[in-house]
Chains A and B, each alone.
Chain A
């Protein structure tokens, strides 16, 4: 009930694609809002990194990917997981520390992986997933699978050594990997203006000899197009691409963030550029979806999220009894 079939294709190609794109973005939005609510009630342990306002990036990228293409994600990875086809119930269950959560309650928000949908995992280390995606691409190359790997990361990760080493390796080996930088303007509290001496982060591609493109990250169609081009490049054996999607996160870095480093005006300005509202406007203008159909996607998304949360809450809490046995994979005789 909580996993719709994945769909590939341009978000504005037809009614079906448009519905899917809108539903996916709405699911991400509603999921994050639900998480915010549950966390606010003290039902979730630890902290949460919400991606409200950034929904177009994972949606547009994943509409250009197959089920077998792989992704690695970040600490702010709920959107990537959902867009790649994760089961909402198992995601909530994980955040609630239940035994039927994706990680059996052992990983939490930052370590959700879903092997069946090609999701090699969110990552609690900034930049941790970038070399891993390169490895997945290397694997595809060596085994001639024809799949691509996408590494999602933020502007903050581009200053980690891991990004540099991974990008260089992928470039010299011409691996089928796509580096997707979701530039939301801030590391944790440090703005990109203070962390970079660049206007466009995609200019760094030059340093590795790979193409770099900067795109409006709140335009799901533009995101799709840029990704599709990078996928074709990769599959043709021409190596990696650096995509910079400029977007914005509405909520603080995590729940204890009081937003001291930015102004309310800035947040409001970006809320006007809401990717979901923007897409609704486009599909209306193009006559792809009418008002009712738009409302229907939001209703569906809400229904799916509520069902996922209610179901997840019934699950059993993860049991410490199995901990020691879960560290190593058993060696088969």
Chain B
């Protein structure tokens, strides 16, 4: 009769069992056993269990040691059986079961904390405050339980922070103009035939043209403070901003493609309106331009700002005759009136 080798293993006896202790072995090598005879006893954290022989046979080998802890599936003893105990082809690679890692169901909630202690505000107020850069602590709450309401933050009369910025801006501009009194300067004006174009197109053309002229006349591009020759040409274009006036600086606008400059111009105007002119555009000006061509102001005398050699203003075109006044102010320490009138002519021709 043919015989079969069959390994009797540490069985899995509960859902969570991973290993078991071999308590006792009831047979010896060479013993004859019948199907159902108890071969060994195992213990788990939950229960003790007797493991029975699956078939008639002889105990061929004992691998397990009494008292040892064995993993589920580990062979405890080998039987030589007369009936074939079913065995399966466990060696064929079966696709790996990937139990998804324990997914934490709790999503961390990021609660933005106000740096100045806890401030209560309705959600929409928080959203708007963050967008506008308003410090909630500066708002007086009128809602229940000291909560800042939507009205508190959206009412312009009550948005103190907004006013504060405006005031600060005004102060800064006034301070700069104050310094103009100390600069020896002369202002010249002439007419120019003005082709109507969009605000940005006009400004871009003006800015790049003047920049070209300044570059040709290097000594106009000096810093009036340090008297160093500057490498670049920086034109500060005065424009309306959220908090008053802003003066973003366009560096080397004559070296850019016309379309690029136009796009930059448009974008900067948007940023100014939102009160968000980028920091890098606030320095490096060698000259300033006041473009009033799209307002009703016919002329204005541009005042020199500290460190600028020139300042330009372009007025609104005359309703009947279509020409506009262009005024140029120069720092007399670096440029005389004759030169100034020359430059003005160059500009008008170039425009």
Q: Do A and B touch directly, given a CB cutoff of 8 Å in the complex?
A: yes
Residues of A within 8 A of B (CB): 30, 33-34, 37-42, 45-47, 97, 255-256, 258, 268, 271, 302, 305-306, 309-310, 313-317, 320
Contact between B86 and A268 (Cβ–Cβ < 8 Å)?
no
Contacts of A42 in B (CB 8 A): 12, 18, 72-73
Contact between B15 and A47 (Cβ–Cβ < 8 Å)?
yes
Residues of B within 8 A of A (CB): 9, 11-15, 18, 36, 46-49, 54, 72-73, 84, 86-90, 92, 94-98, 100
Contact between A310 and B88 (Cβ–Cβ < 8 Å)?
yes
Contact of A255 among B12, B73, B97 (CB under 8 A): B12
Q: Can you report 16 residue pairs joining A to B where beta carbons are below 8 Å apart?
A: A30-B86, A39-B11, A40-B12, A40-B72, A41-B9, A41-B12, A41-B90, A42-B18, A97-B97, A256-B13, A256-B47, A258-B48, A258-B49, A310-B92, A313-B89, A317-B96
Contact between B73 and A271 (Cβ–Cβ < 8 Å)?
no
Contacts of B13 in A (CB 8 A): 255-256
Min CB distance A312 to B, Å, is 9
Contacts of B15 in A (CB 8 A): 45-47, 256
Contacts of B18 in A (CB 8 A): 42
Contacts of B72 in A (CB 8 A): 40-42
Query: What's the dominant secondary structure at chain B's contact region?
Result: loop
- Residue of chain A at shortest CB distance from B8: A40
Number of A-B contacts (CB under 8 A): 68
Contacts of A320 in B (CB 8 A): 100
Contacts of A313 in B (CB 8 A): 88-90, 92, 94
Contact between B88 and A306 (Cβ–Cβ < 8 Å)?
yes
For the complex, what is the distance from the CA of A319 to the CA of B98, rounded to whole Å? 9
Contacts of A40 in B (CB 8 A): 9, 11-12, 72-73
Contact between B100 and A33 (Cβ–Cβ < 8 Å)?
no
Contact between A314 and B46 (Cβ–Cβ < 8 Å)?
no
- Residue of chain B at shortest CB distance from A33: B86
Contacts of B49 in A (CB 8 A): 258
Min CB distance B15 to A, Å, is 6
Min CB distance A255 to B, Å, is 6
Contact between A316 and B73 (Cβ–Cβ < 8 Å)?
no
- Residue of chain B at shortest CB distance from A46: B15
Contacts of B47 in A (CB 8 A): 256, 258
Contacts of A45 in B (CB 8 A): 15
- Residue of chain A at shortest CB distance from B94: A313
- Which residue of A30, A37, A40, A305 has the most chain B CB atoms within 10 A of its CB atom? A40
Contacts of B11 in A (CB 8 A): 39-40
New contact pairs (12) apart from A255-B13, A268-B36, A317-B96, CB-CB < 8 Å: A33-B86, A39-B11, A41-B12, A256-B14, A256-B47, A306-B86, A306-B87, A313-B90, A315-B94, A315-B95, A316-B95, A317-B95
